[in-house]
Amino acid sequence: MASGKVYLIGAGPGDPGLLTLKGQQYLADADVVIYDYLANPVLLGHARADAEKIYVGKVRGHHHLPQEETNALLAEKAAAGLQVVRLKGGDPYIFGRGGEEAAYLKERNIPFEVVPGVTAGFAAAAYAGIPLTHRDVTTSLALLTGHERPERKLSSLDWEKLATGLGTLIFYMGMANLKTISAELIRHGRDPQTPVAIVQWATLPRQRTLVGTLESIVADVAREGLEPPAVIIIGEVVNYREELRWYDNLPLFGKRFLITRPRAQAASFVQLLQQQGAETICIPTIEIVPPKDLAPFDDALRQLAGFDSLVLTSANAVSAFFQRLKENQLDLRSLAGVQIVAVGPKTAEAIEAYGLAPDLVPQNYRAEGVVEELLAQGVAGKRILYPHAEIARQLIVTDLTRAGAEVCAPIAYRTVIPQGKADMIRHLLAAGELDAICFSSSSTFDHLLAMLGDELKQLQGRAEFFSIGPLTSASIRKHDFEVALEPEQATLDALVAAMVDYYKQK
């Protein structure tokens, strides 16, 4: 039997991008992933689909599994010959009982490895705009726990030395004892005006930062209602925040958007939004599936060489085309000599990803643009292949046929409504937890309407509707819903830029 091993991996503070490359690699290889309350569950996406995932974090403040049982679980899985990843929030060796887990494994001769992570205090400082050390104000830094073992209480901290002998202090788990912490520091000689920053949910779009002084911070927190998980940063370096803020003043920071496009195509949109500080929730209202009858598409693919042009009008059509080509045991060579037309830059990009350069991308990124350019080129007697969605505009077929082309237009894919998602969206809307819903095609809206029915009307106004372009907007308005925003160009980049402008003006 292969020998098992435990990897104690720091998951970082929350932002999934702060996992190390090594951590990601071990996660991808793991047979079992045992994870914590503070480890971002999004990271489980790096693990194999068939890896066992076990949650041992907290449930409403209570530890789900006592530490002893977590230790035993790690040992048991590794002893069974499995590769075990123990994913812990922040860094495993900073206030995370990682040392106890490692010692338990060591005693039982179970091999282990430790992969450090970005600890919450460092990450909170970076994302709040606070350099933890700065030549001008301090050269030392201490990490402290504000919540010691009950039998020892905070009294075991040497307050006098902390108060006067160190520069920056970072308290973890200190919210419940904030009053004691600030009072003791003042009592032992720290200036009551020393700045304090509390950073809650650091590095996540719901990050909140509150700045006060040792004297005021207890009242400030009570007024603003900040809660754990939060770190407390104390010291003159906090003053740099005003100048060095970069994260929580991003244009879309604090906004939450529902993304309705299929997950496979949402990644670049999500990335664009996150770069502007937004929080995104992806619940696709459309799912792409093959046509009910594949014969017409397959027939066309088998005679590819007989076509003059191939017209692709969406990234979905591109993936459907190449996937089906492969399923027919064909490859790119069968496209030799066929002119490739892409409706717009995104479709062109999708084609280029397969190593092909489109011959024609019209200036006007719509079916009208394709028709215009092909007509200008002359289509009489030409054979044109146009694999399309089940519900597609007929413009390309009718206009090109009228001009004498022979258009073969098989259905390449269908969009269907994913099951079991309506409740999640209903709940988010009803709770007022969304700033806007982004619709990137008519079907993303039509399907949402089909999913929620009349309820969508009743929930009107709970979130704004953002549309990618005129066709999508028309579908929304047709049902008497308001479109709050539509960019000048129907692209995701333009939509994100318009969203940034929109909130700037608000």
Residues with a catalytic annotation lie at 36, 58, 173
Q: Cβ of residue 29: shortest distance to ligand SAH, in angstroms?
A: 23
Residue 393 is which amino acid?
R
Q: Cβ of residue 162: shortest distance to ligand SAH, in angstroms?
A: 17
Question: What whole-number distance in Å separates Cα of residue 476 and Cα of residue 371?
Answer: 26
DSSP-derived letter for residue 432 is T
Contact pick of 4, 90, 387, 469 for ligand SAH (by CB under 6 A): 90
Question: What whole-number distance in Å separates Cα of residue 236 and Cα of residue 214?
Answer: 11
Name the one range near ligand SAH by CB under 6 A: 88-96, 245-253, 388-396, 427-435.
88-96
What does the block give as tokens for 448? 């949402």
Quick one: CA dihedral 191, 192, 194, 197, positive or negative? positive
Contact pick of 119, 441, 444, 475 for ligand SAH (by CB under 6 A): 119
Contact pick of 231, 400, 428, 436 for ligand SAH (by CB under 6 A): 231
Contact pick of 78, 87, 102, 124 for ligand SAH (by CB under 6 A): 124
Size of the site for ligand SAH (CB under 6 A): 24
What does the block give as tokens for 420? 């079991």
Under rule CB under 6 A, residue 96 binds ligand SAH: yes
What does the block give as tokens for 445? 């809206």
Question: What whole-number distance in Å separates Cα of residue 461 and Cα of residue 445?
Answer: 15
Name the one range near ligand SAH by CB under 6 A: 78-86, 225-233, 264-272, 327-335.
225-233
Contact pick of 91, 101, 399, 435 for ligand SAH (by CB under 6 A): 91
Q: Cβ of residue 97: shortest distance to ligand SAH, in angstroms?
A: 8
Under rule CB under 6 A, residue 202 binds ligand SAH: yes
Region of residue 453 (phi > 0: left; psi between -120 and 50: alpha; otherwise: beta): left
Phi and psi for 429 in degrees, rounded to 5? Answer: -70, -50
Question: What whole-number distance in Å separates Cα of residue 36 and Cα of residue 86?
Answer: 8
Under rule CB under 6 A, residue 101 binds ligand SAH: no
> Closest CB to ligand SAH belongs to which residue?
90
Question: What whole-number distance in Å separates Cα of residue 478 and Cα of residue 457?
Answer: 13
Q: Cβ of residue 199: shortest distance to ligand SAH, in angstroms?
A: 6
Question: What whole-number distance in Å separates Cα of residue 339 and Cα of residue 32?
Answer: 49
Q: Cβ of residue 197: shortest distance to ligand SAH, in angstroms?
A: 11
Q: Cβ of residue 26: shortest distance to ligand SAH, in angstroms?
A: 17
CA 270 to chain centre: 6
Contact pick of 9, 18, 38, 310 for ligand SAH (by CB under 6 A): 38
In the bound state with ligand SAH, the residue whose beta carbon lies nearer, of 88 and 382, is 88
Q: Which residues pair with 198 in a beta bridge?
A: 210, 232
Question: What whole-number distance in Å separates Cα of residue 273 and Cα of residue 95?
Answer: 33
Distances (CA, A) of 449 to 62, 96, 475: 40, 46, 10
Under rule CB under 6 A, residue 238 binds ligand SAH: no
Under rule CB under 6 A, residue 89 binds ligand SAH: yes
Name the one range near ligand SAH by CB under 6 A: 49-57, 83-91, 420-428, 468-476.
83-91
Under rule CB under 6 A, residue 229 binds ligand SAH: yes
Question: What whole-number distance in Å separates Cα of residue 33 and Cα of residue 24?
Answer: 12
Residues 170-189 that bind ligand SAH (CB under 6 A): 172-173
Residue 127 is which amino acid?
Y
What does the block give as tokens for 118? 């970005």
Under rule CB under 6 A, residue 94 binds ligand SAH: yes
Phi and psi for 387 in degrees, rounded to 5? Answer: -75, 130
Q: Cβ of residue 130: shortest distance to ligand SAH, in angstroms?
A: 13
Whose tokens are 């069974």? That residue is: 80
In the bound state with ligand SAH, the residue whose beta carbon lies nearer, of 119 and 347, is 119
In the bound state with ligand SAH, the residue whose beta carbon lies nearer, of 90 and 235, is 90
Question: What whole-number distance in Å separates Cα of residue 313 and Cα of residue 43?
Answer: 34
Name the one range near ligand SAH by CB under 6 A: 42-50, 90-98, 242-250, 413-421.
90-98
In the bound state with ligand SAH, the residue whose beta carbon lies nearer, of 176 and 474, is 176
Positions touching ligand SAH (CB under 6 A) are 13-14, 38, 88-91, 94-96, 119-120, 124, 172-173, 199-203, 228-231
